[in-house]
Amino acid sequence: MADFAALAVPGVQALRPYEPGKPVETLERELGIREAVKLASNENPLGPSPRAVEALRTGLGNLHIYPDGNGFALKQALAERHGVDPEQVTLGNGSNEVLELIARTWLAPGHNAVYSQHAFAVYPLVVQAVSAEGRAAPAHAADSEQPYGHDLEAMAARVDHNTRVVFVANPNNPTGTWLTTEALERFVTGVPAETLVVVDEAYAEYVEQPDYPDTTQWLRRFPNLLVTRTFSKIHGLAGLRLGYSVSSAMVAELLNRVRQPFNVNALAQQAGLAALRDTAHVAASVQVNREGLQQVGAGLRERGLDFIPSVGNFVTFDVRQPPGPVYERLLRQGVIVRPVANYGLPTHLRVTIGTAIENERFLKALDVVLTP
């Protein structure tokens, strides 16, 4: 039999797949426990919008019909939301697919992409998959104002004439750090016009800082800017896989050349459209997250654990020891969190903000597993 691993393209040969958070069903099956809680994948503890659920029920009778391959209604609604033309919107099977489309469209051997240390794991994965060079810029130090956050000067220093894409997560996962309007605008202004700047705003709806930028409003000034968003987080539609990007019409048209037909299914489109209209659900989700950040932060401080201040719906905290055994002991307490050693944070774990009851269960589980 042929050695198909050796025949794969160089980038894929050395690629390690993305590892998602452990499913509740898997944990309960493996350990024989019940009523576990998953705080590993930054999912919305309130679930999906009730309007989205109703839209799904309505659409079930039409599953024999292909979805609108252009996503006309959803793109119209998103264009109205962001003040752009529908031709500037690209729909994806999650924003993750949009990131992959970007790599396939602009990266190849001999090109490079720049991103920050501790940034979202998918950036290096999509870059490596197309055999391009990934350049990780050192992040800010642990004792800085934005611990482990993007150092934009260090990122700019790694951009050269072969840089086709720069990835910026704002806020960043898994650190929860964020960039101000002034800092990010100065950075984008300094990036060469022929380099695409991808600003990943997956957690934007959770951010309440007054100087946090909505970069979808910068597209007229920066034709090389592309902004990604997702329905997986605040809208609670992670299971449907729905995301999008907003860019210039030229950039969107190029992405659509490589986008697969019918990449966003009909139910996802209908649920997404309904979720956009459910502003009450979004507001409630923000409030639960705000209160949860305070609850978890206070609980970690009471237990003497350092953590990275976050504006997302998660907190990354330092257990000051190899986190693997702590993670495993938390699993046996029925609490799933996320190891982040692969992000260059070797003594940290990340916990999603849940409901008040879920947050308290996590904190009490910590007391058990960290007791000498």
pLDDT at position 11: 77
C-alpha distances out from residue 239 to 125, 233, 235, 271, Å: 22, 10, 11, 11
Q: Cβ-count burial of 60 within 10 angstroms (0-12 exposed, 13-18 middle, 19+ buried)?
A: exposed
* Residue 337 and residue 251 in one domain: no
What are the φ and ψ backbone dihedral angles of 291, each rounded to 5 degrees? -65, -35
Read off the pLDDT of each residue in 66-82 and give the average, rounded to a whole number.
97
Tokens of 175: 């650190």
* Residue 67 and residue 31 in one domain: no
* Residue 295 and residue 328 in one domain: yes
Residue 364 has pLDDT above 90, yes or no: yes
pLDDT at position 231: 98
Higher-pLDDT residue of 331, 371: 331
* Residue 31 and residue 157 in one domain: no
3 in any annotated domain:
no
What is the domain-level CATH number for residue 63?
A: 3.40.640.10
Please tell me the distance from the alpha carbon of residue 11 to that of residue 67, in angstroms, as a whole number.
33
1 in any annotated domain:
no
Read off the pLDDT of each residue in 56-81 and give the average, rounded to a whole number.
96
Read off the pLDDT of each residue in 307-324 and give the average, rounded to a whole number.
96
Read off the pLDDT of each residue in 155-178 and give the average, rounded to a whole number.
98
pLDDT (tens digit per residue) in 97-150: 999 999 999 999 999 999 999 999 999 999 999 999 999 999 999 999 999 999
Last residue of a domain, one of 277, 292, 324: 277
177 in any annotated domain:
yes
9 in any annotated domain:
no
- The total of other beta-carbon atoms located within 10 Å of residue 235's CB is 25
* Residue 110 and residue 257 in one domain: yes
Last residue of a domain, one of 277, 297, 315: 277
* Residue 270 and residue 313 in one domain: no
* Residue 183 and residue 94 in one domain: yes
Strand bridging mode 89-92 / 112-116: unpaired
240 in any annotated domain:
yes
Higher-pLDDT residue of 224, 372: 224
* Residue 211 and residue 344 in one domain: no
pLDDT at position 328: 94
* Residue 88 and residue 112 in one domain: yes
Read off the pLDDT of each residue in 162-190 and give the average, rounded to a whole number.
98
pLDDT at position 19: 72
Weakest mean pLDDT among 14-28, 111-125, 323-337: 14-28
Residue 26 has pLDDT above 90, yes or no: no
* Residue 76 and residue 193 in one domain: yes
Counted domains in the chain: 2
Encode the chain in three state secondary structure: CCCHHHHCCHHHHCCCCCCCCCCHHHHHHHHCCCCCEECCCCCCCCCCCHHHHHHHHHHHHHCCCCCCCCCHHHHHHHHHHHCCCHHHEEEECCHHHHHHHHHHHHCCCCCEEEEECCCCCHHHHHHHHCCCEEEEECCCCCCCCCCCCCCHHHHHHCCCCCEEEEEEECCCCCCCCCCCHHHHHHHHHHCCCCCEEEEECCCHHHCCCCCCCCHHHHCCCCCCEEEEEECCCCCCCHHHCCEEEECCHHHHHHHHHHCCCCCCCHHHHHHHHHHHHCHHHHHHHHHHHHHHHHHHHHHHHHCCCCEECCCCCEEEEECCCCHHHHHHHHHHCCEECEECHHHCCCCEEEEECCCHHHHHHHHHHHHHHHCC
Q: What is the chain's length?
A: 372
Find the angle CA(32)-CA(37)-CA(40) to the nearest 5 degrees.
Answer: 115
% the chain with pLDDT above 70: 100
Those residues whose C-beta lies under 8 Å from the C-beta of residue 81, and which sit 6 or more positions away, are 276
5 in any annotated domain:
no
* Residue 201 and residue 71 in one domain: yes
Q: How confident is the model at residue 184 (pLDDT cuts 50, 70, 90)?
A: very high
pLDDT at position 298: 98
pLDDT at position 33: 86
Residue 32 has pLDDT above 90, yes or no: no
pLDDT at position 20: 76
236 in any annotated domain:
yes
pLDDT (tens digit per residue) in 79-95: 999 999 999 999 999 99
Spatial contact of 68 and 367, defined as CB atoms under 8 Å apart: no
What is the domain-level CATH number for residue 342?
A: 3.90.1150.10
Spatial contact of 156 and 187, defined as CB atoms under 8 Å apart: yes
343 in any annotated domain:
yes
* Residue 150 and residue 86 in one domain: yes
Last residue of a domain, one of 218, 248, 277: 277
- Domain carrying residue 167: 51-277
pLDDT (tens digit per residue) in 49-63: 999 999 999 999 999
